[in-house]
Chains A and B, each alone.
Chain A
Amino acid sequence: GAVVSQHPSWVICKSGTSVKIECRSLDFQATTMFWYRQFPKQSLMLMATSNEGSKATYEQGVEKDKFLINHASLTLSTLTVTSAHPEDSSFYICSAREPQGLNQPQHFGDGTRLSIL
């Protein structure tokens, strides 16, 4: 099946630093990737939709300047949490949608556990 790789799987850093998370589709070209945030025992909250070659579309309430998304190629999207603070600690998950046709399934990465000290 389709594979989406997310890196790193776990990162701990000091408050005020910026953290970059990579999301790669390994066996298909993804024109659209998604970034989610998940709090413990809760559902996935869509943060933004990333389209290759264009600006990301952010969901209401998500700070664009805080969560920078770059979708530079058909297989790579990155999420940079800028000037991270403890309240940004969470589980971040990316997904990529198979490109052919409507309603293609999304495949998820294994997530990145971000802990800000």
Chain B
Amino acid sequence: QQQVKQSPQSLIVQKGGISIINCAYENTAFDYFPWYQQFPGKGPALLIAIRPDVSEKKEGRFTISFNKSAKQFSLHIMDSQPGDSATYFCAASHGYQKVTFGIGTKLQVIP
């Protein structure tokens, strides 16, 4: 059972555009939602994370929007750049329990 559903699986965005990746979760006990960025041949790197007591968190060009009632959260990458081309994973966890990852979104930013 996939507890964190991520879409789309692949995304092509033009340079300067906005990249949007969506995730939905089922377990209402989840209370920590990180996003990871992974380049080929590398491990995932923590990009940004949010807790459900806020609806939005912004760090530079990256913004997480969180909708607790809909059990959805999304990553927005503003002014997307070719260097942002990577695979992005949303994730969720509760307390000390293991992190559940989404399936991943391969983002390609074209010039």
Contact = CB atoms under 8 A, between A and B. Distances in A.
Interface of A: 1, 4, 6, 32, 34, 41-44, 46, 49, 93, 95, 102-103, 105-111, 113
Interface stretch (B16-24, B36-44, B57-65, B73-81): B36-44
Chain A contact surface mostly: strand
A56 to B, nearest CB: 12
B51 A108 contact: no
Contacts of A43: 89, 101-104
Interface string B69-95: 000000000000000000001000111
Contacts, number: 53
Interface of B: 31-32, 34, 36, 41-46, 49, 51, 89, 93-96, 98-99, 101-104, 106
B34 A93 contact: no
Contacts of A32: 96
